[in-house]
Amino acid sequence: MRNALIISGVLLSATVAVILAGPQDHVSQEVVALLAGLAVGVWLLRFSPPWRWLAMLVLVLSLVLCLVLGPAGIAWFGGFVSGTQAGLAWQHASKRSRKPAKQTREIAKTER
C-alpha cells in the first residue's frame, strides 16, 4: 500500500515537472488533462466497475490519447498512471480497515 502511494506521488511530481519544464502556452489544457487522468485512474481501481475489460480499454485509450494530444496527452497519461496507483492504495487501505484489529496487528508484524 505504501509503495503504491510513493509511486503515485513520484509519477504525479514527475508529470507536473514535465508540464512546467515544457512550453508554457498550453499549461491550462495540460493541468486539466492531468486532473482528468488522475480522476479516471482513481475511479477505475478504487471503484472498479463490474466490467473487467474496461480497464484494458481505458489503458489503450490512454495510450492513444497520449500520442494524439501531444503534451496534454503526456499529462493525461501521467495522471492516469498516478491515479491508478493512488486508487490501488486506497482500495488496499479500505480492505485493510474492514479487518479486525487483531488481524491488522498480526499483518503489520509480518510486514516488518
Query: What is the tens place of the pLDDT at every residue in 51-102?
Result: 778 878 887 888 888 888 888 888 888 898 898 888 888 888 887 776 665 5
pLDDT in tens, 27-43: 888 889 889 989 988 88
d(CA 82, CA 10): 8
**What b/e readout covers 13-37, taking b as 16+ CB neighbours within 10 angstroms?**
eebbeebeeeeeebeebbeebbebb
Task: State if pTM tops 0.85.
Answer: no
Cβ contact 58:49 at 8 Å:
no
33 alpha-carbon distance from chain centroid: 13
- Tell me the domain boundaries of the chain: 2-111
Question: Is the alpha carbon torsion for 31, 33, 38, 43 positive or negative?
Answer: positive
Per-residue model confidence (pLDDT) at position 104: 56
- Check whether 15 has a pLDDT greater than 60: yes
The radius of gyration computed from the CA coordinates of the chain, to the nearest angstrom, equals 16
